Chains A and B, each alone.
Chain A
């Protein structure tokens, strides 16, 4: 055989080339991996510097120099990002080239070295032993595969099959029942199959004790709908009349929590700095983004820090703090405050009252009831809400029931507690994602409905029993704005999703939609004819409530987090700098007044007794002529 004569020098040279290439390849490998990890950890569009600049721009949108600075930083970040990627890619190519050089060198060496070895030394034949070993290891592999697969199945089990199977059964059952009991089932039988599937799933466990307040469910039997009606209408159960509800500001965004307020002759001009039309101003000890509520001559609100949670009662006439109660020591409360977004805070949900007690909830999941003198009636921890921005859904009362929208990342539900005892009356699981919206109460003419919005739907419940009445899939994303209602239409919106008007009926249907201007924080407000939507970046849009036609768009100078309030034919809209924009609720934009608070605010004002109560960053203001 002709073999190339080995040349020691050539082999040595090739060995060296291979070695050098190997070292370069190794160094490159380390550098590429390090660069890759670094690039993966950096989001070029959300660097801390960029976030700071964007925050500054939000509060000062007219700053052109700042805009230029942001653009430059953005360009720089992108350049750096893509340069890193280029480095990784180029490094990869060089690495591959090095590997190729190594391969060539090694192959070359292989070629010029003698190839055919001498006959191997005879070894003891172990053919049969090897065969047995192989058999054994095939069996071991089989056992491992079975065990490994079962463990994997167990670890990754998500019940999706069971869930879908249940839904399939529910759908089939619903379809078969549909023809026979449509009269008994009422309007929801006409809903779409999807809605029925979900409703079926929800109705199966109307009251459960899965949350940390399970002691409440175990401590007594859960009444059925009839029992509940009897209980709630019983003579011992006193709750405010409709007149009282309308004349006070008992909940977030007015009597039914939809932004529409009764009353007349509210001030249209004031100045917090000079004191014009400011009846009093009181510093609130602890901060909070909740709005004040008003019952007769008392104003209530909450504040919280990482170590303390307090409820305040303020004399509506003088501004004097009548009492402040520390409610930090509720059994089950977490030892450390949850990490929440700065703009949400630890006391974002607005309180509510039934005239006998006031109720508050905090980002820790602490739900408390205090009598009108500030004494703790009952308190419980509902569990730490799984909410990365912080819990913010406000409370609402229906008769004697305190209703909590408990939307969180896992195990969302809506709950009703007996206001007197704190006992859980009903608890309806919700297959929605976490949200920051608050519930509204709607009188449809036939019945009262508790309506909630969260990704992916708007859902109506019977407020007495928690039974789901209808649902419309129409919303998605991180839902912050609450609903609006007027004239038989429910309005829902969320940024990046849509603005939709749902016409109540049998079944409820989406009457119109728009995606032009959407809100992520302020809730819309509606009259029978107009819908007013405000974006957080300060654009006000007026739509025809029934057709969706866009009447006008007004761009404010400042951003807005507070929700607009419709009262006496006027819309009151407070921007983040504390300027109240007042305009007529009409087809054209007609400003009526512009009043300055003197400090920034993100809270929705409360209107009662001809006075407006506004919570600023530090102080509570009472505005009155």
Chain B
């Protein structure tokens, strides 16, 4: 019932958002013959510093509370309520910005562009979840990330997708991360923000295509739990890495696993590692040999990936507006009746010589060539790492959360009949 009330509150928030969006519906400025002077357009002032401090405070508080709820209280209900709050605050109120996922790009840009000064709030939003994850696991995903909270809410009848799809889709976040870093490092674009499917919902304002993307994600989210978090989120890659080293990660049982198997299918994210009791049919010697082969082949994977990336660098570079502009000038392909792009008109009006543009684009292409090698190498290394990771076996007797992929949502906790600390069973 409580959850129903929470959802109703969210619905009201949603309605409020709709009304405020109606109020800012815009129309082209009309021309008046009566002499009426249209008032000057006022730009919104930047967010007050005190409110930025508030955002950071809320983030740290939410992280602390959700971590406490996961690890100390072991309460899924509490996690749920915090995620509702995060969705309301970071999602609908803050409209999905600033967010830790997008902060990857700011950090990258600050590293590669000396003239860019990263706002301290963005840095905190990037670092704080990573630090918390390093110590406590992915509690940020559990209840602070508004994207995760939204998907968690709509998860209805989650189904498993099998090892094949998991293997294929699991590579996408690495590629997305690589692309996001490449485009941010070259100052091309913040693609995570541009193609963020949920910001449009939080702001109730997006292109039709982005709404469609969000709709598809949410619909698939009914049957495939947290599709964005598992198969797209680039920040999730970093959290996955860091979480593997977390000191105090959530455990399914608070004491000793009694092998009741009640939790076996409780995780909608397929993040519970089952006991491995059957011996590997392959001999240990053979496994070591396979592992060494993968390790030795990894540089080759990187080179192959890098070579591929270098070949696709021009296509990747076309996301850059300057490259597109130069291309339009050098290889005009205007379709009959279609006028030139507005960017081209603006460029011509600026009076900037084409040679300056060409020189800039030559530099950008060079950056993308190097970036293509690095991106491809990274993807190659990822594939090598994933293959090698599949060869390392740790025999388990208990059900345990996978430290990399577990979102610490504490769902499985509810399924465990063992009482905290005592080892007795709650019926």
Contacts and interface: CB of A to CB of B under 8 A. Distances in A.
Do the two shown chains form a genuine complex with each other?
yes
Interface of A: 1, 4, 36, 82, 86, 88-89, 92-93, 96-97, 99-101, 103-104, 106-108, 110-111, 115-117, 119-120, 125, 127-128, 130-131, 133-142, 145-146, 149-150, 152-153, 156-161, 163-165, 167-168, 171, 192-194, 197, 388, 409-410, 431, 433, 456, 473, 476-477, 497
28 contacts: A86-B25, A97-B14, A104-B11, A107-B7, A107-B156, A111-B3, A116-B262, A119-B262, A128-B281, A133-B164, A133-B167, A135-B167, A135-B387, A136-B167, A138-B383, A139-B387, A141-B171, A145-B305, A145-B308, A146-B304, A149-B308, A153-B314, A153-B315, A160-B331, A163-B330, A197-B358, A473-B353, A497-B348
A168 B363 CA distance: 11
B311 A153 contact: yes
A106 B383 contact: no
Given A111-B1, A158-B331, A164 B361 contact: yes
Interface residues of B, number: 83
B39 interface: no
A157 B313 CA distance: 10
Contact of B265 (A117, A157, A161): A117
Contact of B348 (A110, A128, A410, A476): A476
Given A134-B166, A409-B334, A103 B153 contact: yes
Nearest to B19: A93
Contact of B355 (A92, A125, A192, A497): A192
B415 interface: yes
A134 B309 contact: no
Given A119-B261, A135-B390, A153-B311, A431 B330 contact: yes
B390 A128 contact: no
Contacts of B383: 138-139, 141-142
A378 B414 CA distance: 92
Nearest to A101: B11
Contacts of B18: 93, 96-97
Interface stretch (B64-72, B139-147, B321-329): B321-329
B208 interface: yes
Contacts of B1: 4, 111
B257 interface: no
B365 A160 contact: yes
Nearest to A195: B355
B354 A116 contact: no
Given A120-B265, A160-B365, A111 B4 contact: yes
A160 B326 contact: yes
Contacts, number: 189
Contacts of B301: 142
Closest 10 pairs between A and B when the two form their complex, measured CB to CB: A388-B336, A137-B167, A194-B355, A153-B312, A134-B167, A156-B315, A142-B383, A104-B7, A130-B163, A133-B163
A104 B11 CA distance: 9
Interface in B49-105: none
Contacts of B168: 137, 140-141
A164 B167 contact: no
Contacts of B15: 97
Nearest to B329: A456
Interface centre among B14, B201, B315, B427 (most CB of A within 10 A): B315
B156 A409 contact: no
A213 B185 CA distance: 49
A146 B315 contact: no
Contacts of A1: 426-427
Contact of B332 (A96, A139, A140, A433): A433
A300 to B, nearest CB: 31
Interface stretch (B119-127, B130-138, B187-195, B270-278): B270-278
Nearest to A201: B330
Given A133-B164, A160-B331, A150 B3 contact: no
B222 to A, nearest CB: 8
A158 B308 contact: no
A110 B268 CA distance: 14
A149 B383 CA distance: 15
Contacts of B260: 119
B262 A125 contact: no
Nearest to A89: B25
Nearest to A135: B390
Nearest to A165: B362
A156 B311 CA distance: 11
Contacts of B355: 171, 192-194, 197
Contacts of A476: 340, 348
B8 interface: yes
Nearest to B279: A128
A194 B326 CA distance: 13
B2 to A, nearest CB: 9
A120 B264 contact: yes
B295 interface: no
Interface in B343-398: 348, 353-355, 358, 361-362, 365, 376, 379-380, 383, 386-387, 390-391
B128 interface: no
Given A137-B167, A388-B336, A433-B334, A127 B276 contact: yes
A120 B261 contact: yes
Contact of A138 (B204, B327, B362, B386): B386
A161 B7 CA distance: 54
Contact of A164 (B25, B153, B312, B365): B365
Contact of A161 (B164, B314, B387): B314
B318 interface: yes
Interface string B240-256: 00000000000000000
B326 to A, nearest CB: 6
